[in-house]
Amino acid sequence: MPVTVKTFGSTGEAASALSSDRSARYLGGGTLVMRALNEGDISISTVVRATDQALSRIDVTSSRITIGAGVTFAKILAERELAFLHAPARSIGGPAVRNMGTVGGNLFAPNPYGDFTVALLALDATVSVQGGLGARDLPIEEFLQSRERQSGALVLAVSCQRPATADAFRYRKIARIKPKGGSVITLAAHLPVSSGRISGARIALGSMAAMQIRARAAERALEGRALDDAAINAAAAVAAEGVSPTDNALGSAWYRREIVGVHLRRLLSGLE
């Protein structure tokens, strides 16, 4: 069966085309979808596109920012208001991949990819999804947990609060090839501080489980404390709690467990 490409003006039509056909796949930037087609993935026989401008819109007017699913990393890097997301955007692929790859596609990118999603997880983002029956907003954690079942749904946008200070959000990607390459580990931390103490810490890890996950033990170790050596050490010591990494060509599960605490310590103490 030849591959059919269906282009829709509205996201609603695209969403119903996706949900009604199991062999349909939405085309974001295509960095993964086109690779799959070229390498002979015959599970895809319909490619769905949507031209709705809303998908590539960035809304930064309030303290809450909204990024359309079709926004590319290159576009994020060109947007000064999104400086706190520049580090994660820059850590993805080379210029060619950043020019095409989208925020929406990154939510579905399997290990060792999905770096931007790690940042979004630490920022407690909300994912707007349009299913066959209508649109709804999901917390990103819930979205990721049900990702396999989301394949028929269209992601419209992601949104999150802007971190209060530049220091409150930190990101670090460990890769073997710089500047591009799959991740050995990706770490992001959101550390809001009120009267000198961390309140509502969120730490997210990539490539440490089948899905991007939160380092809850490390979050607990920081909660209510000042970000001093003792707190950092306590968080680093429990960084590997609850992780379930796998071996791949970039690193073994053993290695990932060994180094996650080291890199978390560096991230938290602001070391390069």
Ligand X SMILES: Cc1cc2nc3c(=O)[nH]c(=O)nc-3n(C[C@H](O)[C@H](O)[C@H](O)COP(=O)(O)OP(=O)(O)OC[C@H]3O[C@@H](n4cnc5c(N)ncnc54)[C@H](O)[C@@H]3O)c2cc1C
> In this structure, are residues 54 and 8 in contact, taking their beta carbons and an 8 Å threshold?
no
Minimum separation from the CB atom of position 220 to ligand X (A): 27
Nearer to ligand X, 74 or 260 (CB): 74
Backbone dihedral region of 134: left (phi > 0), alpha (psi from -120 to 50 degrees) or beta?
Answer: left
Q: If contact means CB under 5 to 8 A according to the sort of partner, which of another protein, ligand X, none does residue 69 touch?
A: ligand X
Cα 66 from Cα 107, distance rounded (Å) = 15
Q: If contact means CB under 5 to 8 A according to the sort of partner, which of ligand X, another protein, none does residue 109 touch?
A: ligand X
Minimum separation from the CB atom of position 272 to ligand X (A): 19
Cα 5 from Cα 45, distance rounded (Å) = 9
Using CB under 6 A as the binding rule, whether residue 187 contacts ligand X is answered as no
Of residues 59, 85, 60, the one with CA closest to residue 74: 85
Distance, C-alpha 214 to centroid of its chain:
12
Nearer to another protein, 35 or 136 (CB): 35
Buried b (16+ CB within 10 A) or exposed e, 240-253: beebebeeeebbee
Q: How many helices (H) and strands (E) does the chain have?
A: 11, 14
3-state secondary structure of 154: strand
Which of positions 24-53 make contact with ligand X (CB under 6 A)? 25-33, 35
Which of positions 17-76 make contact with another protein (CB under 8 A)? 35, 38-40, 42
Block residue for tokens 């999804």: 129
Q: If contact means CB under 5 to 8 A according to the sort of partner, which of another protein, ligand X, none does residue 88 touch?
A: none
Cα 26 from Cα 21, distance rounded (Å) = 11
Nearer to another protein, 7 or 23 (CB): 23
Using CB under 6 A as the binding rule, whether residue 180 contacts ligand X is answered as yes
Nearer to another protein, 1 or 271 (CB): 1
Block residue for tokens 């939405």: 26
Interface residue with another protein, options 252, 259, 265, 266 (CB under 8 A): 252
Cα 93 from Cα 73, distance rounded (Å) = 10
Nearer to another protein, 175 or 213 (CB): 175
Minimum separation from the CB atom of position 165 to ligand X (A): 26
Residue 130 has, within 13 A of its CA and on its CB side, a CA count of 19
Of residues 151, 130, 132, the one with CA closest to residue 26: 151
Q: If contact means CB under 5 to 8 A according to the sort of partner, which of ligand X, another protein, none does residue 65 touch?
A: none
- Scanning 98-106, 211-219, 242-250, 259-267 for contacts with ligand X by CB under 6 A, the matching segment is 98-106
Nearer to ligand X, 153 or 191 (CB): 153
Interface residue with ligand X, options 69, 123, 221, 268 (CB under 6 A): 69
Minimum separation from the CB atom of position 28 to ligand X (A): 3
Which pair of structure tokens corresponds to residue 110? Answer: 């399997």
Nearer to ligand X, 26 or 169 (CB): 26
Q: What residues line the site for another protein (CB under 8 A)? A: 1-3, 35, 38-40, 42, 252
